[in-house]
Amino acid sequence: VVAGELELNHECSLMNWSPEDFESKLQEAMKQTYQRAIKAATDFGYQKESPEALVHGAVISAFLTIAQAMTDQGCV
């Protein structure tokens, strides 16, 4: 999903990205996603070192993002 978003942003802008720039942006987005997932997991009581923390954290983070978007739009 992140790669597709980066490609879309690249196509919509008039800037040319080198493969290295694209890789750098992709790695940064993945790093941020990982950090959000781990933070959500620990905020909701999962130990950072537990094997399921990343999975549960990603689900929690996604839910909170969607819930916030719905709240912002007045749907909830």
Give residue-wise pLDDT tens across range 23-71. 998 899 999 999 999 999 999 999 999 989 999 999 999 999 999 999 9
Instruction: State pTM to two decimals.
Output: 0.76
At residue 49, what is the residue type? E
Q: Residue 36: which domain range? A: 2-72
Closest CA to 31 of 62, 2, 55: 2
pLDDT score of 14 more than 70? no
The count of domains in the chain is 1
Residue 1 has pLDDT above 90, yes or no: no
How far is CA 67 from its chain centroid?
15
pLDDT on residue 19: 87
User: What are the backbone dihedrals phi and psi of residue 16, each rounded to the nearest 5 degrees, phi first?
Assistant: -100, 125
